[in-house]
Amino acid sequence: MKYGEHLFRREGTQPPQRPTTATQAANAPHATPAIVPSTARTSSSAPPVDAVPGKSDEPGGSRLIVGPNIKLKGVEIDDCDTLVVEGRVEATMNSRAIQIAEQGAFSGKVDIDVAEIRGTFNGEMTARKRLVIHGTGRVSGKIRYGKVLVQEGGELTGDISVLGESPPDLLRSA
């Protein structure tokens, strides 16, 4: 198998066999096989995350996947509908959604609609609509959110507040 062939083949299928002799080539069918596009990329170590249905699955929706063992450092991520972090990312992001897989880690600043965290986030986050922290998720830093869901085992620490609410006035006169 050539390098990269496995990236475009469905699991459990074999590459087409090529004729090795002139006789086999003459008798080989000449029809072009149908190409069936794969609708989703899954990783065996991280189940697919469906926190942000819709736009990233539509034509034109953009998705950046930082795979396991990949480190992306010192970048600005814009115009990306969904960032999927399976490796390590140190960045600033203004986008629609972030999904951090169980083994993934993000540090930096994000301004997004929806965050789904199974791994680790450290930094400044504004999740305008929803922040979901799964049982394996760890979120720390300056965190602002519209709505939050923390599953049993998930951790949320730092300067935390709901968007639109002012912090309590602890210095009120009596």
Which tens digits make up the pLDDT trace of 34-82?
A: 444 433 343 434 444 444 444 444 445 799 999 999 999 999 998 899 9
Mean pLDDT of the chain: 77
| Segment 26-37 mean pLDDT | 46
Place 137 in a pLDDT band, splitting at 50, 70 and 90: very high
| Segment 164-169 mean pLDDT | 65
The two three-digit tokens of residue 86, written as one number: 């399976």
Boundaries of domain holding 53:
43-162
Higher pLDDT, 47 or 27: 27
How many domains are contained in the chain? 1
Domain assignment of residue 38, yes or no: no
Domain assignment of residue 2, yes or no: no
Domain assignment of residue 36, yes or no: no
Place 13 in a pLDDT band, splitting at 50, 70 and 90: low
pTM (two decimals)? 0.63
Percentage of the chain beyond pLDDT 70 is 60
| Segment 9-24 mean pLDDT | 54
Checking if the pLDDT of 108 tops 70, the result is yes
Domain assignment of residue 123, yes or no: yes
Domain assignment of residue 5, yes or no: no
Domain assignment of residue 94, yes or no: yes
Domain assignment of residue 26, yes or no: no
